[in-house]
Amino acid sequence: MKNNRIILSLGFLVFGFLIAYSYQITHNTPEPERMTDREWERNLELSERLATLEQRNLDLQNTLFKQQNKMLEIEESLADEEQVLSDLAKQAEDLRMILGKVKVKGEGVVVTLDDDQFDPMEGDINQFIVHEHHVLKVVNELYISGAEAISINGKRLTSQSYIVCTGPVITVDGQQFPAPFVIRAIGDKDTLEKALNFPGGVKDQLVADNIVVRIEKENEIVMNPVLASAQ
Q: What gap in Å lies between CA 84 and CA 93, rounded to an integer? A: 14
Is the pLDDT at 188 greater than 90? The verdict is: yes
pLDDT band at 128 (very low <50, low <70, confident <90, very high): confident
Measured CA to CA, the distance from residue 108 to residue 192 in angstroms comes to 7
Pairing verdict, β 163-166 and 169-172: antiparallel
The pLDDT assigned to 230 comes to: 41
Beta-carbon contacts of 135 under 8 Å, excluding residues fewer than 6 positions away, are 113, 152, 163, 170, 181, 183
Residue 57, phi then psi, degrees to nearest 5: -60, -40
Give the residue, 62 or 31, on which the prediction is more confident. 62
Show the domains of the chain with their CATH numbers.
105-228 (3.30.70.1880)
Find the mean pLDDT for residues 84-91: 73
pLDDT at 13: 54
CB 204 within 8 A of CB 138: no
Confidence band for 136, pLDDT divided at 50, 70 and 90? very high
Arithmetic mean of pLDDT over the chain: 80
